[in-house]
Amino acid sequence: MPVTFTLRLKTSPTVLVDARWISTDRFAGRAIDEIKKFRILEGGWETALGELFDVTGPEKAPADPKEIEIVIENSSSKLCYIGYKMSGGRIVVKGDAGHFIGYKMRGGSIVVHGSVRNYLGCKMKDGSIEVFGNAGHRVGSKLQGEKPGKGMKRGTIVIHGSAGSEVGCGMAGGIIVIEKSAGNLVGDFMTGGTIVVKEGAGVDPGLEMQSGRIVVGGVVKGILPSFYVDSYIPSLKVRGIEFKKPFLSFIGDAVVGGRGLLQVSYEDNKKLLEVFKSLLEEV
């Protein structure tokens, strides 16, 4: 059984907090008094972890991060970088969280019982993240200006609510599941991996994708002309998720010579997709 450290936020911060020291790897092998003295940035000002949180737990953390659980109570959307580079163990966030949760994560699990802001699971290498609320932009993505394929490489991200734009931007592997809807440019610049959006999405999913798979189970607001229709599928099953309705499959993005797979609900987009289906019927 893992040992548990509980961090209860004393007062809700009014500025962003760089909380990257809240990670199982940072706690590993440290005495609780040392953990309380971790230096974190609150709006650019350095302060101690124990100044912001009531910290309780064993006298010393195990040396192996996999044996550590961190529970953050009374959390805030101002807390950023939680789980930075963690390789194992578990973090449970009770409430909302900020930007860059699970940034460069290498293993273990993060569960957020609330919503998160931008760059969830950015450059994630492995592990799992589950969010019971909504997420901001660029889930599982690369950083702005980086080359395609520099985003999420392995692991799983599940968001039970909705997500913003550019989900999986530049991702190379792993799976992202959005239980509700997503914004524009789902899977832009992706080179691998799978994105499943169970409900609707915005315009132009798969912009300049080279490889990978995008599934949109609801209304899509626009498809790029550089995707060409490949097949009609009566029903669809992907990674254990089943859609009992027809889909049209597209290949693209031809602009970059891509062979990515974009699958869109036909039933929810008949007006947009009927011309593509007629092309298949002519063949």
Q: What is the edge-to-edge ordering of all strands in the sheet holding 45-48?
A: 45-48, 39-42, 17-18, 79-80
Nearest to 188 by CA among 213, 216, 207, 211: 207
What is the C-alpha end-to-end distance of the chain, expressed in Å? 60
Q: Say what the pLDDT of residue 34 is.
A: 98
Q: What is d(CA 270, CA 261) in angstroms, rounded to the nearest whole number?
A: 19
Cis peptide before 253 (omega within 30 of 0): yes
Q: What is d(CA 82, CA 17) in angstroms, rounded to the nearest whole number?
A: 10
For residue 224 the two structure tokens come to: 């790029």
Q: Say what the pLDDT of residue 179 is.
A: 98
Nearest to 251 by CA among 191, 220, 209: 209
Residue 280: its H or E element: helix 270-282
For 143, which DSSP code? P
Residue 249: its H or E element: strand 247-252
Q: What is d(CA 269, CA 263) in angstroms, rounded to the nearest whole number?
A: 12
Q: Say what the pLDDT of residue 231 is.
A: 96
Instruction: Report the sign of the C-alpha dihedral through residues 25, 177, 183, 203, in that order.
Output: positive
For residue 247 the two structure tokens come to: 């889909």
Kind of pairing, strands 156-159 and 128-131?
Answer: parallel
R_g (Cα) of the chain, nearest Å: 21
In tens digits, the chain (283 residues) has pLDDT values of 899 999 999 999 999 999 999 999 999 999 999 999 999 999 989 999 999 999 999 999 999 999 999 999 999 999 999 999 999 999 999 999 999 999 999 999 999 999 999 999 999 999 999 999 999 999 999 999 999 999 999 999 999 999 999 999 999 999 999 999 999 999 999 999 999 999 999 999 999 999 999 999 999 999 999 999 999 999 999 989 999 999 999 999 999 999 999 999 999 999 999 999 888 876 5
pTM (2 d.p.): 0.97
Q: Say what the pLDDT of residue 279 is.
A: 84
